[in-house]
A and B are shown apart, each in its own frame.
Chain A
Amino acid sequence: EPEVTQTPSHQVTQMGQEVILRCVPISNHLYFYWYRQILGQKVEFLVSFYNNEISEKSEIFDDQFSVERPDGSNFTLKIRSTKLEDSAMYFCASSNSVLNSYNEQFFGPGTRLTVL
């Protein structure tokens, strides 16, 4: 069964450093997402991406964040200068449709980001 993969599973970084979180969505999917979950809190939407551009983003997704699909398979989330409050689990998701009649999103296992 196809699945979304994410690397690394755990990333530890120093405050102020840049991090890149990587995701490989399901191969025939067209819509890509990043969500985050701070420990003990709810899952929060960050950004959606379609046709090589951001289609929607939340207030959390400020200028420190960027996303890219550098090739036909990877989807990355970059945080330019990490802050302590960026520590969270980051989930990548993909879907092949945004129609409400069929909009199952497939989530990856997540990358735990720890900012020291």
Chain B
Amino acid sequence: DIQMTQSPSSLSASVGDRVTITCRATQSISSYLNWYQQQPGGAPKLLVYAASSLQSGVPSRFSGSGSGTDFTLTISSLQPEDFATYYCQQGYSTPSFGPGTKVDIK
């Protein structure tokens, strides 16, 4: 099975900051990598699919990049509604998720 790791596990940031979250797979997954945002008490919400394609309706401050084993999610200018937990997920084989990165207010 493909294992996913994320770093950092948590970070504190201020409104307006640029934030980058990294996701790594234990083997190449091509571009079968998706990013989700989860607010406390809510269901996950798709942000980015196929490593770099922005889901319809998602603000352009979110972007994804990478292929193979290393991927990043970037928030160019953090907004109050972006404080949440972010998960990566691979769909190359049996689906698996990263452990999550919690973004909270500095």
Chain B binds chain A: no
Q: Which residues of A contact B (CB under 8 A)?
A: none
Q: Which residues of B contact A (CB under 8 A)?
A: none
